[in-house]
A and B are shown apart, each in its own frame.
Chain A
Amino acid sequence: MGDIKLRVRNLDAWYGDNHVLKNINLDILSRAITAIIGPSGCGKTTLLRVINRLHETVPNARVRGEVILDGKNIYDPDVNPVEIRRKIGMIFQQPTVFPHLSIHDNVAIGLKLNGINDRELLDKIVRKSLREAGLWSEVEDRLWDRATDLSGGQKQRLAIARAIALEPEVLLMDEPTSALDPGATSRIEALMTNLKKDYTIIVVTHNIQFAARTADYIAFLFNGMLIEYGVAQEILERPKEKLTERYLLGEVDLERWL
């Protein structure tokens, strides 16, 4: 096992009165892909949004507990959430672009938001990020066209380019392929495997095959509780918990195994 990048400690989260995460404890390893799996509504996405402090931007949302990034609790009062979100990139479920911006500016926007305005530097980083995201050859001759004309898979790779342009320390991905066709999905999967050399990736998915193909570690969440966490292959082949086993077998009615 590698170094621990991120520690989640005694974490609880609420939307209003709805207690969506219950006492989560989880260590995320550096330069690996950790998949968070579980049925819809189990709190997977919330866990992701707690890690980059996006959860608290929704009205009535609350968090208690600690998320420790490189030894520093990001929920300490002296931490600026804007700073944290720069360090922890996020890819959303729907492949969304900024529709009023060109392909180039869709990548550059994160840098501009963080005060980088030097044109040459921007161009350099945009090119590098698009190459890393495996999109460069498809867009190099139309960088200044609007990004809305790209296909779903291209938009998602553009979102990845946008996130890695900021050189974040952690990449969060919320079901990055659920809106994509199989071809685009396998490109994203290959890209993720490539990216984990440089980044710590946490990916939320309800697709077990996707997790099996990409993840090094798997965390299984159910009803806001972390049921099981470990090396991907072990979780998939020899789950210790009955609940995990039933979920992996595709059983819908999981409550009775709790």
Chain B
Amino acid sequence: MAKGDLMEKLFKYVSSVSAWTIISVFTVFFITIFYGSLDSIFYSGIKFIFISIWDPVKKIFGALPFIYGTLLTSLVALILAIPISLGVAIASSELLPSNLSKVLDPVIELMAAIPSIVYGMWALFVLGPVLRVYVEPFLNEYLGFLPLFQGTISGYGYLNASIILFIMILPIISSLSREAIRAVPNEIKEMTLALGGTEWEAIRMKISVAKRGIIGAITLGFSRAVGETMAVLLVIGNKPVISASLFSSGATIASILANEYPEAIADPLHTSALNELALILFLISLVINIIFIKLVRRRVGVI
């Protein structure tokens, strides 16, 4: 057997082992979390995800406030982030002169590289006071007819967490969408112009061609928001309550996990309940990804 053949076999072998490693790690990960949450599953049953009381001392475990907090903060962050990051992506790939986007691009990458604890501290020391003194009173005065903007003003809670999540996912969605738009051949734009399309229609055509990549970028941003722990933990207030008000304190699954692990170690049921929360977080991410994959795989688009 020639030496080349041996290398080829070795390479095939090594890469398939690597692929199986990923699958095994994933499986082990899932099984251990599932196993860890068995006690809690038997103890609380299906009520676990429907009860809104979380009281480890009285052994009442209801995950609803955390599921609510996770989805609420992530959704608000996403609603703020999608239009702005698409704007950034379109501007830097299509509209800005290249010397300006040469400055903008690295700034976006840098923003994505800042550790989340730094964002958390900024939200704690800067964003919180600003929200308390300016933003929340303003929202309360002019949009106070909405339940979202009623209640006690503190500067900390869902709104603060949502805004810091928005700032954190902004660079991810921006830079990935920008690359998706840049990957579309310029011919698409010229073809649209040559058919009597306007400049704006030509840019929109490029965006529709890049749609899959943009949806992928949004998925990643959403997953990041759902799983973000440290920054949220610092500003959300960590109270297991469900409130329609964005000014209210609350908690997310990730933040409560980080917050309660130290005290839960002494109580196996509490630990198991936290494991079940982790399992739910895992499933939420899975469902989000499946939904977005379905969106991407949809049949040929309409104009």
Contact = CB atoms under 8 A, between A and B. Distances in A.
B196 A114 contact: yes
A101 B198 CA distance: 19
Contacts of B302: 105
Contacts of A39: none
Contacts of B303: 101, 105, 108-109, 112
A83 B194 CA distance: 10
B301 A101 contact: yes
Interface stretch (A1-9, A12-20, A84-92, A230-238): A84-92
Contacts of B211: 100
Interface in B284-300: 300
B80 to A, nearest CB: 27
A98 B188 contact: yes
A94 B187 contact: yes
Contacts of A166: 195-196
A79 interface: no
A96 B300 contact: no
Contact of B185 (A83, A96, A100): A96
A250 interface: no
Contacts of A159: 191
B197 interface: yes
B102 to A, nearest CB: 14
B41 interface: no
B195 A52 contact: no
Interface in A87-133: 89-90, 92, 94, 96, 98-102, 105, 108-110, 112-114
B193 A98 contact: no
A36 to B, nearest CB: 17
A196 interface: no
B300 A162 contact: no
A145 interface: yes
A5 B23 CA distance: 67
A92 B191 contact: yes
A146 interface: yes
Contacts of A59: 97
Interface of A: 52, 54, 57, 59, 82-83, 85-86, 89-90, 92, 94, 96, 98-102, 105, 108-110, 112-114, 144-146, 159, 162-163, 166
